[in-house]
Amino acid sequence: GKKCRIGPSILNSDLSELASECQRMMDSGADYLHLDVMDGQFVPNLTFGHPVVKCLRPKLPGVFFDMHMMVQKPEQWIQNMADAGANQYTFHYEATDDPTTCIRKIREAGMKVGVGIKPKTAVDVLLPLVDLVDMVLIMTVEPGFGGQKFMADMMPKISFLREKYTDLEIEVDGGVSPSTIQHCADAGATMIVSGSAVVNSENPKETITYMRDIVNQ
Ligand code: DX5
Ligand code: ZN
């Protein structure tokens, strides 16, 4: 089957040591980094934006940055993120009136495109967009905070998409850990975000390897 990748979210790590925490994840075998951008509007929390990404870029050359844009009006940061060195721009369906234009602008800026949905959004809204994007993101917590409980009842969204689109990259994000990863594997996710379970692990390398082996089985 498809090769699955693990992308740690550094949201719950020591953000004063952001670059070294990212490096620690890469040294632990991460395939990419999932960077959570929050604007206090789309979600009730704040993190960081393109100025931070721009500083991280030269410290982590060659690392794939998947920007999870939990922001209202995602169009407004596309060029900034591209200039800062982001590789993929994952916006939320709920945050824009015009997802198609958003997708086109992300492509024009030279990034890969992801589109995500919150738990309460029906998976059907993604169907007209699937052929236009590189990845879809199925949230398994309400976006805004790390360390929340995995919503296993989101798995039918993933299996529904997997049944229709064999090759689609499907990312799962929120509460993914060694104890919930099997659900994601069974449903057909191929890009696995895991935050607190990896950064707080005593042995992140073992945790990442364990989860990847289950999904690649
Ligand atoms: C939640 C973020 C997630 C989160 C993942 O709003 O989008 O990426 O940080 O962290 P865990 O794995 O701890 O739920
Ligand atoms: Zn995220």
Closest CA to 151 of 173, 126, 136, 169: 173
**Mean pLDDT estimate for the chain:** 97
Question: Counting Cβ atoms within 10 Å, is residue 4 exposed (0-12), middle (13-18) or buried (19+)?
Answer: buried
Report which ligand 1 atom has the smallest distance to the Cα of 34: 8
The Cα–Cα gap between 35 and 108 comes to 21
In DSSP notation, 35-76 reads: EEEEBSSSSS-B---HHHHHHHGGGSTT--EEEEEE-SSGGG
- Indicate if the pLDDT at residue 28 is higher than 80: yes
Q: 28 and 198 in contact (C-beta within 8 Å)?
A: yes
3-state secondary structure at position 134: coil
pLDDT, tens digit, 9 for 90 and up, residues 143-155: 999 999 999 999 9
- Indicate if the pLDDT at residue 177 is higher than 70: yes
Of the pLDDT bands very low, low, confident and very high (cuts 50, 70, 90), residue 26 is very high
pLDDT, tens digit, 9 for 90 and up, residues 69-110: 999 999 999 999 999 999 999 999 999 999 999 999 999 999
pLDDT at position 97 is 98
- Indicate if the pLDDT at residue 1 is higher than 80: no
The CATH classification number of 5-216 equals 3.20.20.70
Protein residue whose Cα sits closest to atom 9 of ligand 1: 146
Summarize the confidence of residues 105-120 as an average pLDDT. Answer: 98
Distance 147 CA to ligand 2 centre (A): 11
The Cα–Cα gap between 188 and 217 comes to 11
Of the pLDDT bands very low, low, confident and very high (cuts 50, 70, 90), residue 3 is confident
Q: 112 and 89 in contact (C-beta within 8 Å)?
A: yes
Ligand at minimal distance from the CA of 114 is 2
Distance 131 CA to ligand 2 centre (A): 22
Closest CA to 5 of 138, 121, 171: 171
Q: Which residues line ligand 1 (CB under 6 A)?
A: 9, 11-12, 34, 36, 68, 141, 143-148, 173-176, 193-197
Q: Give the end-to-end CA distance of the chain in Å, rounded to a whole number.
A: 9
- Indicate if the pLDDT at residue 32 is higher than 80: yes
- Indicate if the pLDDT at residue 2 is higher than 90: no
